[in-house]
C-alpha cells in the first residue's frame, strides 16, 4: 500500500507542477499551441496599396480561431482560414507610412494556466517591407 501511495504522490507531483510537459498532464488537452509564423504574402507592398487596402496572408502553424496578427506591436483581428493560414486587410489604420513593419502572430492563452499547462503565445517576427 505504501508503494502505491508513493507512486500516486509522485505522479500527482509531476502532473501538477507549473510548467510541466502538457503531454503528461491530462488536464492540458484543451491548451492552445504556441503559433509559428513561416511567411508573409506579399512580403513587399507599396504604401499606395495599403491606402487602398491590401490583403496580407500569413502562413505558419498552430493557428486557432483566437489567433491574431500583431503589426508593430498592436494585436489586430484576423480571419483564420486554416490551422496554417490567416488573412488580414492592411490599411492605413495599421500602417501609417513606408518602412519596415514587424509582423507576428499571437494566440492568447486559454484558461489552463492555473493547471500547470502552457497555452498560446507569440510567434517570432517577420518583416513586411512597405515602399
The pLDDT, as a whole number, for residue 116 is 55
Global pTM? Answer: 0.73
Instruction: Decide if 32 contacts 66 (C-beta within 8 A).
Output: yes
More confident residue, 92 or 13: 92
**CATH top-level class of 2-130:** mainly beta
Beta strands in the chain (DSSP E): 36-41, 44-45, 54-61, 68-71, 74-76, 79-82, 85-90, 99-107, 121-122, 126-130
pLDDT digits (tens, 9 = 90+) for 12-61: 544 444 444 444 455 565 567 889 999 999 999 999 999 999 999 999 99
In the chain, where the domains are located: 2-130
Amino acid at each position: 500500500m505504501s508503494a502505491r501511495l508513493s507512486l500516486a504522490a509522485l505522479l500527482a507531483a509531476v502532473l501538477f507542477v507549473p510548467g510541466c510537459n502538457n503531454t503528461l498532464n491530462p488536464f492540458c488537452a484543451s491548451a492552445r499551441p504556441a503559433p509559428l509564423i513561416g511567411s508573409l504574402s506579399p512580403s513587399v507592398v507599396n504604401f499606395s496599396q495599403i491606402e487602398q487596402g491590401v490583403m496580407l496572408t500569413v502562413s505558419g502553424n498552430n493557428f486557432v480561431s483566437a489567433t491574431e496578427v500583431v503589426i508593430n506591436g498592436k494585436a489586430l483581428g484576423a480571419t483564420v482560414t486554416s490551422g496554417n493560414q490567416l488573412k488580414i486587410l492592411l490599411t492605413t489604420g495599421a500602417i501609417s507610412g513606408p518602412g519596415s513593419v514587424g509582423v507576428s502572430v499571437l494566440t492568447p492563452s486559454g484558461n489552463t494556466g492555473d493547471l500547470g499547462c502552457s497555452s498560446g503565445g507569440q510567434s517570432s517576427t517577420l518583416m513586411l517591407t512597405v515602399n
